[in-house]
Amino acid sequence: MMGLSAAIQPYNLMIAVIGLVLGIIVGVLPGLGGANGCAILIPITFAMPPTAAVILLACVYWGALYGGSICSILFNIPGEPWAVAVTFDGYPMAKSGRAGKALVLSSLSHGVGAVIGVFLLTFFAPIIAEFALKFGPPETAAVMILTFSAMTRLGGKSALKSLVAIFLGFILAAVGMDIVSGKLRMTYGTVPLMGGFSFIVAVIGLFGIGEMFLTVEEGLKMEGIKAKVRLKDVWDALREMVRHRKILMMGSLIGCWLGIQPGGATPASFMAYGFAKGTAADKDEFGKGASSGIIAPEAAGHGAGTSATLPMITLGIPGSPTMAVIMGGLMIWGLQPGPMLFKEHADFVWGLIGSIWVANFIGLFLVLAFAPIFAAILRIKFSILMPVIIYVCAIGAYAVNNRMIDIYYMLIFGIVGFLFKKLDYPIAPMVLALVLGNLAESAVRQALIMGRGNPMIFFRPPIALPLMLLALFFFFLPTFSKWKKSLTAKKAGVST
Amino acid sequence: MRKADIIVALGLMLVGFIVLADTIRLGFGWGMSGPEAGFFPFYMGLGIVICTFFIVLRGLKTYKKEGAGKRLVAEGGLTQILWVLIPAAGMVLLTELIGLHFATVLYLGFYMGVVGKMHWFKVILISLLIPSATYIVFDKLFLIPLPEGLWGKYLIPF
């Protein structure tokens, strides 16, 4: 309640609307996304009170989620990986002249997924935070290891390449002054490296500029479908949602469950889509514009997006790249993410949770009312959009530390991001490692000091041990299932 | 694609070795007060070297078996990318001299006029409007000074 009243103060409400509009715009634009939008806006938030600042960034995040669906339904271009599952049925439905209905379906399912997610958040966040207060350095390190092991395997990419990305992120985070001993590390006698790498610059370069290179390489073709939302569409969509209420619920729950783990939104939306298809009576409809094919992945994607907030505010572990950026923002504003946040800055946390409620209601309205306007952004000529986006990225990169060198880093990160995307190195774990770098390193070092150098401290019961076992389980699960498959295949080969 | 895969992995391995060199200088063992400064990055660097070694090995294997595979950058894609990268790099270099706002006017004008082949009136209008808007928002409203370069401050009279 307290949070809700904070969120509906006129100033915060205004910030929320601005954030949502900006979020939808960055969600629709090619090359920009939630993570980028937040990264560029962080310098602006320095001048705001922390609650307003987090509301702004969170609303950019929700707005980008809504914007991403507009993009995938009307243009068949998924803005983020999880939105791929939405294009399967969203685009065909829009193509067959029911674009309005598709948009309403997607944003309403979004809303439901988010509401269920925020319900869970409201109830579970204080409990988990209370539990996490018992964590010492070994437990924190174990949570981090669990996070990264889940990330290595959930991405569906090569495990080796994911590991390289994580290690690289940690190394980049370590450049500059060592927080414990005060020694300069990996600066090789150069002054620019002494300041280290800012994760904001890395995010802007890797996601923004790198994405831009990919877009021009593929030869951008924007062939959107004109959409207008009529009242009849809203009515139609509502009826469909009641008809598919089971799928809606399942989608949201799958999303909320998988969203707690880092990088869970993409598997969640695919899983929900698969579930909807598996239980549907008319499987032929899928891929041609089935309503439940939109409802399920949208609800899961947004549910996951909402529940990604949970580990961030309770454990200090961000569940998605955008959350990582927001968490980096918290640290810059002088707040320590994690269980102490609940104790020391309760108003801030509840303000954030309250803003999720408000943002989703306003977001729904904005999308339904102004979808055609937002879609029109994509019809702006690319030769205007592209330089403007690069310009905005450069401002964002510079304004973090007012350093010119950061703009050069941004371009370099852009090239790295392009190469990584092309060669299947996942970028999200690298950003996460860069944000968590200092926390993870000090947790590992303190834990080792506690254990007098004995690494068995990471396996100490009662909390660290199950976390580590879970981490090992996640890490080796795909290897096991592959091994089992090849074994059964061999057996089958012998018997026939 | 496979060649690029191997080359990038080798490059990353080099990064790993450079990191290892510095962490060995810093000391990566057990010091007076627990792990030394180079401890954590040392194992990260070691991890990169080991992982990239296997990536290179696997890359070489598939390269021998299946040939080079697809091109890394699609046909004609490279020119497109360079058309983005070079003007952007040019803008950054110009920023050092005349500041971000003026560099952007030239950059937007160049890109829209030469690459986009738009009408000159639109080009001038947009390339003046956008930097002025950001100047007002950042330098004046939020008091975040954007880079002025060497001569930028003499160019803005107010």
Write phi, then psi, for A172 (nearest 5 degrees).
-60, -35
Average pLDDT over residues A465-486: 78
Q: Which residue of B has its CA nearest to A384?
A: B112
Tokens of B55: 């990536």
Q: Determine the residue among B10, B40, B78 to mutate to test chain A binding: the one whose Cβ has the most chain A Cβ atoms within 10 Å.
A: B40
pTM of the model: 0.82
Provide the Cα torsion A270, A276, A282, A284; round to 10°.
0
Chain A residues with CB under 8 Å of B95 CB are 394, 404, 407
Mapping DSSP to helix (H, G, I), strand (E, B) and coil, where does residue A456 land? helix
CA distance A408 to A190: 15
Report which of residues A227 and A301 the model is more confident about.
Answer: A301
pLDDT digits (tens, 9 = 90+) for A322-331: 888 888 888 8
CB-nearest partner of B144 from A43, A382, A446? A43
Q: Which residue of A has its CA nearest to B41?
A: A171
Residue A415: predicted pLDDT: 92
pLDDT digits (tens, 9 = 90+) for A244-275: 788 888 888 888 887 777 666 777 888 888 88
Confidence band, pLDDT 50/70/90 cuts, at residue A216: confident
Average pLDDT over residues A117-138: 81
Contact B81 A217 (CB under 8 A): yes
Contact B23 A185 (CB under 8 A): yes
Whether the CB-CB separation of A187 and A171 falls below 8 Å is answered with: no
How close is the nearest chain A Cα to the Cα of B52, in Å? Answer: 7
Question: What average pLDDT is seen over chain A?
Answer: 80
- Domain locations along chain B: 2-66, 77-155
Report which of residues B68 and A17 the model is more confident about.
Answer: A17
pLDDT digits (tens, 9 = 90+) for A37-86: 888 888 888 878 888 888 888 889 888 888 888 877 887 777 667 777 88
CB-nearest partner of B134 from A217, A219, A395? A395
Mapping DSSP to helix (H, G, I), strand (E, B) and coil, where does residue B31 land? strand
* pLDDT > 70 fraction of chain B, expressed in percent and rounded: 95
Sign of the CA dihedral with A397 first, then A402, A408, and A413 last: negative
pLDDT digits (tens, 9 = 90+) for A151-176: 776 555 678 888 888 899 888 888 88
Residue A231: predicted pLDDT: 73
Q: Which residue of B has its CA nearest to A169?
A: B44
pLDDT digits (tens, 9 = 90+) for A340-380: 787 788 778 887 888 888 888 888 888 877 777 777 777 77
DSSP class of residue A194 equals G
Confidence band, pLDDT 50/70/90 cuts, at residue B49: very high
Nearest to A143 by CA among A442, A472, A444, A467: A467
DSSP per-residue string spanning A143-191: HHHHHHHHHHHHT-S-HHHHHHHHHHHHHHHHSEE-TTT--EES-TT-S
Nearest to A259 by CA among A471, A114, A64, A88: A114
Q: Which residue of A has its CA nearest to B44?
A: A167
Average pLDDT over residues B131-157: 74
Using the predicted structure, report yes or no on whether residue A495 has a pLDDT greater than 50.
no
CB-nearest partner of B4 from A158, A161, A423? A423
Residue A107: predicted pLDDT: 83
Confidence band, pLDDT 50/70/90 cuts, at residue B152: low
CA distance A217 to A227: 28
**What's the CA angle centered on A350, arms A349 and A353, to 5 degrees?**
90
Tokens of A329: 């923002």
Chain B residues with CB under 8 Å of A162 CB are none
Distances (CA, A) of A411 to A8, A208, A405, A435, B72: 40, 10, 10, 20, 19
CA distance A139 to A144: 9
CA distance A258 to A179: 34
CA distance A452 to A470: 25
E strand map for B13-102:
30-31, 34-35
ipTM over 0.85: yes
Q: For chains A and B, what is the number of CB pairs under 8 angstroms?
A: 173
How many residues would you count in chain A?
A: 496
Using the predicted structure, report yes or no on whether residue B65 has a pLDDT greater than 50.
yes
Write phi, then psi, for A355 (nearest 5 degrees).
-70, -25
